[in-house]
A and B are shown apart, each in its own frame.
Chain A
């Protein structure tokens, strides 16, 4: 069955608008997050109609350029709240470095203990950096790019859905702290969530995402060798 090229982008956008409305009505609970419901609905549909997935991926390919442009656009919240990040430069850098290392190690150690294959282990090393980076870096340390990409997306989604509520429950009421955590652990998906929640949180997340991504991309291949 062929579908007109604009159908899937339109369906995706409509599902998002509907989910976003529901999210507001549900008091912004994580289970009603506007990334989650449309994704679950579309994945359900394409599990039943597997032949349609290729067309969906092809027809929504142009979303990538907007996604990439949105990442560039994170420069604006980053610039606007630069002061909040700069005021505690050392604490910010140490927190991002510490969180990044702790996150990677706590993924690798259980994987090694469970005797996962070297390809899986290498594909986990890049879990907290943004997809295009993860795929390149995972490839260079012997990982499987598609597993690395899947791990990155699931990690980001998990951080965005669980992070803000968890940190609030544990008494973290500082937007910079929450933003740094979301950007470090959840790359662009976590940052997208932070930007929705507050300007300062978004800026801290954009900074953490960039710093973590740069450091991981440069250091991981060196450490791995």
Chain B
């Protein structure tokens, strides 16, 4: 428990460090993505995951779906905007998400199999 808390604080330190870099260099990246890249670079350099960071990450990842609930509920606030073009948005979201899922999965499979046969 205490270990997870320390781990979470370390992840937040990476987040704030990344946010500082994004602001001061005006990078076209959100801080969490840069933080993810920085931490990955540190883990690759250390060739291992410190136990506290693993504990913090596991805890947050376990409650990941919980953390998405408030932004989803907040969609009510833009209900009017979403309903202003319901057909386009419905099509765009459902059809293109399916296309994205299928193309990615099958392209990967085809390329990996092709390599295996060669």
> What is A's interface to B at a CB cutoff of 8 Å?
12-13, 15-16, 20, 33-35, 38-39, 42-43, 46-47, 50, 53, 56-57, 60-61, 63-80, 82, 88, 90-92, 94-96, 98-100, 102-108, 110-111, 114, 116-117, 120, 124, 127-128, 130-133, 136-137, 144, 146-147, 149-151, 153-159, 162-163, 166-167, 170, 172, 174, 176-178, 180-182, 184-186, 188-189, 192-193, 195-196, 202, 206, 208, 210, 213-214, 217-218, 221
Interface size in chain B (residues, C-beta < 8 A): 71
User: Pick the contact of B101 from A124, A159, A217 — CB < 8 Å?
Assistant: A159
- CB of B6 closer than 8 Å to a CB of A: no
- CB of B93 closer than 8 Å to a CB of A: yes
- CB of B25 closer than 8 Å to a CB of A: no
CB distance A39 to B104 under 8 Å?
A: no
CB < 8 Å A-B pair total: 325
Q: Mark B70-109, 1 if CB is under 8 A from A, else 0.
A: 1111111110011001011101111111111111111111
CB distance A110 to B61 under 8 Å?
A: no
CA distance A99 to B108 in the complex (A): 9
How near does chain A come to B105, taking the closest CB pair, in angstroms? 4
| Interface hub of B57, B99, B105, B112 (most chain A Cβ within 10 A) | B105
CB distance A63 to B60 under 8 Å?
A: no
CB distance A136 to B15 under 8 Å?
A: no
CA distance A67 to B100 in the complex (A): 24
CB distance B28 to A76 under 8 Å?
A: no
CA distance A63 to B66 in the complex (A): 9
Q: With A172-B109, A177-B109 in contact, is A57–B54 under 8 Å at CB?
A: no
Given A53-B74, A176-B108, A185-B100, 10 more contacts at CB 8 Å? Answer: A67-B32, A72-B12, A76-B49, A79-B49, A91-B112, A110-B91, A153-B71, A155-B96, A184-B100, A196-B64
